[in-house]
Structure 1
Amino acid sequence: MKIVHLCLSNFYIEGFGYQENIIPKYHKKFGHDVTIIASRFTYRKDNGEEDLAESGKYINSDGIKVIRIDYKNKWLGKINKKLKIYKDTYKLLEKEQPDLIFNHGIQFLDLIEVARYVEDNPHCKLIVDNHAAYINSGKNFISREILHKVIYKWAIQKSLPFIEKVFVLAPGCRKFVKDMYNISDEKMEYLYLGADTDKIDFENQDEIKMKIRKNLSILDDDFVIITGGKLSKRKNIKLLLNSMKKVDSNKLKLLIFGSFSDDIKQEMLSLIESDNRVNYIGWLSGEDVYDYYLASNAAVFPGSKSALWEQAICSGLPLICKRWDGMEYVDVGGNCLFLDGDNSHQLKENIKLLMDDKTLYENMEKVAKTKGYITFSYEKIARQAIRIN
């Protein structure tokens, strides 16, 4: 089957472990002919800031053809980032002749062009997903009442008759599309974010753990917590570092990977420097992230939601994370401790609880390695998306 993944509603970052990277990888692994058509919107690895990739075609590390396309009306300037009308979307689909289009995100006006292609080529099926929720979208009146409830809703409703399924990533995403675009429950289905389970090497975990800890001068019986990602202010790493200082134990260690945004970088590096129990790893490849998870005891994410949460769970880690409305699904049966707001005392107590209560820790770890692994495996999720059993 010929599958085209469209990444025109948002960014596409080559070499990352996001949904739009890993689901196409598995579709190709299953034997399908896969192409990714993406915007130029990406992020820099050194500071996590927005960037633009070059337009054009290339073959990525998974052997998948990627076509980067630009906006159609460049004279619109910054408005393009909201409207998202691209050059030759319809013509590219005509050239690729897909049997299935997986549209990542629905907040772009060229969704109408995609639906027009499906209308003209009824053999082709269109599935879409929604990543937007109240925690990341519709933050002000203009965005919520005009951009989403009028402009995007118009394009989505016009396209909806040609969409077979609207996948939503979480309960919060389901509520958002119902409120903003009036999409019915019957049209929706959950398709969670997940982890590239090909990269999780449980068989060699002891060796991986020993090697990484030795390189970082961390003892085998130290309790290692890990966090990371695109480290903007919203990730609340300052809260974690300050909470660490309140835990009086040399057995506790913290690993931080990823890149800090420029506005907080110096402050964060100074805080890290002030606590010799903290190791700042810097940027890690998608594959290396899983190895560092395997070398850790628990993952802590005190800020905004990240795809790294599901990856940590699949790697068998108990999770301490901030509670967001509609995002509690990451707790699949006792693998998570939630933080209510920016509560430093609660975060400190949760860290100590995982360190001190062996029975609780082992139960959380077991749930993550069993139910968590099954729920958030991208191999399973990729099959669900195209109904391969």
Structure 2
Amino acid sequence: MRIAHLCLSCFYIDGYGYQENELVRRHVDDGHEVLVIASTETFGTDRTLTYVKPGRYLGTDGAPVVRLRYRRIGPHALNKKLRLHPGVFRLLEQFRPDVMLFHGLCGFELLTAARYRRAHPAVHLLVDSHEDRHNSARSLLSEYGLHRGYYGPILRACLPDIDKVLCISLETMDFAEQMYGVPRPMLEFFPLGGVLYSDEEYAERRARGRRACAVDAGATLLLQSGKMDRAKRLLESLEAFGRTPGPQLRFVVVGSLADDIKDPALAAIAADRRVSFLGWKSAEELKDLLCAADVYVQPGAQSATMQMSLCARCAVVLDDVRSHRAFFDDNGWLIRDPTELARVFAQLRDEPERLPSMAAQSRRVAERLLDYRALARRITEGDGASAGAAVRR
């Protein structure tokens, strides 16, 4: 089967473990012929957003990648929001995909994918969505100028040619319906996933990760990761951990520190010998560290690493929001306020015997919802039942 991944509404970053990378990798591993059509937006060596030259090359996920420039409608700041790219239809005609997965709802070239679908009715067009109230339409200009005034009309024009809209969270499903007018029957829950490990691989990764953290077998290891800003509530985690004595407790911070929290975070880390800051890690190193951890801590803004932590059998401490509840089944703690962190950390210290059952529950949740092998097969083995067909009729 030929599968085209169109990353023209989002970035595509070689060497990372984002959803786009994992789905491409799984489709290649399953023997499909895969093409990635992407914008020039990516991450630089300093892990900040940058733009590369257009071109074609073999990507790190095993598929050819074609990078397309933005059409020059105006200044670059406008072009990267309008998201028009030359040559998309021609590339699709040359590749002749059986399935197109358009990553992200917000982009002009969705019209091109829909036009290709109309010209080739046997092809399936799926669109995934990460948009919600936390990351999109956060100002009046963005909401009414871009999302309601530009992206929404484009998407609605394409609905008759779209089979399904795959949403990473329940909040995303609500947003797609309320902001863009996507009919609820077209929306399908398709969470960010992770890689499930055999017992042998899990043990190897756990041992390697705990060596990297210099953590002995009897310690309870907590981990918080991501691009840390105030919304992630790392400072609250460190403050609560500092107020929870216990030499058997360890806390590891992985990722980057935003300027608005960097100084107080580093001060809190330096003040507690049980806390380590490891900086940014590769996708493989992060997987080792998640397997090494007993508890993944995410009391603030959502991060895709949470799903990876469930696949790595971590108990979880999560902000009690609707999107997190789908992944919670007696496998940790949901908290409504960061002031609850100290109580949770004290329970971890006093009742470590609860962790094995929570780890087993996290694995069961991951098996049910998050295995990227199964998620990738949903793209290729679904019945293609076209919710969009109801719109066409």
Give the Cα–Cα distance (whole angstroms) in 1 for the partners of residues 259 and 41 of structure 2: 19
What's the offset of the Cα at 1:45? 5.3
Give the Cα–Cα distance (whole angstroms) in 1 for the partners of residues 201 and 90 of structure 2: 47
Does the C-alpha gap of structure 1 residues 214 and 97 become closer, same or farther in structure 2, counting only changes over 3 Å? closer
Superposed, which structure 2 residues align to 1:378-389 within 5 Å? 378-387=372-381
Number of equivalences? 383
TM-score (norm: length of structure 2): 0.91
What's the offset of the Cα at 1:211? 4.0
Partner of 2:333: 337
Q: Deviations over 1:177-235 (max 9, x none)?
A: 110111112212111110023xx353144444344434433221111001112223322
Two-structure CA RMSD over aligned residues (Å): 2.0
What's the offset of the Cα at 1:263? 4.5
Structure 1: runs of 5 or more not aligned: none
- Residue 350 (str. 1) matches residue 351 (str. 2): no
Percent of aligned positions that are identical: 28
Q: Deviations over 1:347-382 (max 9, x none)?
A: 111122233224543332111122323321101111
Give the Cα–Cα distance (whole angstroms) in 2 for the partners of residues 145 and 14 of structure 1: 33
What secondary structure, in the 3-state scheme, does the structure 2 residue paired with 1:166 have? strand
Letter in 1 for 2:64: K
What secondary structure, in the 3-state scheme, does the structure 1 residue paired with 2:226 have? strand
Give the Cα–Cα distance (whole angstroms) in 2 for the partners of residues 377 and 323 of structure 1: 23
Q: Deviations over 1:64-99 (max 9, x none)?
A: 111111111163321223211112222222222211
What secondary structure, in the 3-state scheme, does the structure 1 residue paired with 2:267 have? helix
Partner of 1:216: 213
What's the offset of the Cα at 1:9? 0.8
- Residue 376 (str. 1) matches residue 370 (str. 2): yes
Does the C-alpha gap of structure 1 residues 204 and 90 become closer, same or farther in structure 2, counting only changes over 3 Å? closer
- Residue 250 (str. 1) matches residue 259 (str. 2): no
Letter in 2 for 1:185: R
Give the Cα–Cα distance (whole angstroms) in 2 for the partners of residues 132 and 340 of structure 1: 23
Structure 1 window deviating more from structure 2 (9-18 vs 207-216): it is 207-216
TM-score (norm: length of structure 1): 0.92
Any runs of at least 4 consecutive aligned residues in structure 1 with deviations exceeding 4 A, and if so which?
A: none
What's the offset of the Cα at 1:3? 0.4
Letter in 1 for 2:345: I
Partner of 1:18: 18
Partner of 1:171: 170
- Residue 239 (str. 1) matches residue 233 (str. 2): no
What secondary structure, in the 3-state scheme, does the structure 1 residue paired with 2:373 have? helix
What's the offset of the Cα at 1:131? 0.7
Partner of 1:303: 300
Structure 2: runs of 5 or more not aligned: 384-393
Letter in 2 for 1:65: P
Partner of 1:324: 321
Contact 1:49–1:261 (CA<8 Å) still a contact in 2?
Answer: no
Superposed, which structure 2 residues align to 1:354-369 within 5 Å? 354-358=348-352, 360-369=354-363
Does the C-alpha gap of structure 1 residues 274 and 74 become closer, same or farther in structure 2, counting only changes over 3 Å? farther
Contact 1:313–1:373 (CA<8 Å) still a contact in 2?
Answer: no
Letter in 2 for 1:294: C
Partner of 1:40: 40
Contact 1:17–1:196 (CA<8 Å) still a contact in 2?
Answer: no
Give the Cα–Cα distance (whole angstroms) in 2 for the partners of residues 106 and 118 of structure 1: 16
What secondary structure, in the 3-state scheme, does the structure 2 residue paired with 1:330 have? coil
Letter in 1 for 2:66: I
Superposed, which structure 2 residues align to 1:1-389 within 5 Å? 1-44=1-44, 46=46, 48-73=47-72, 75-197=74-196, 200=197, 202-331=199-328, 333-341=329-337, 343=338, 345-358=339-352, 360-387=354-381
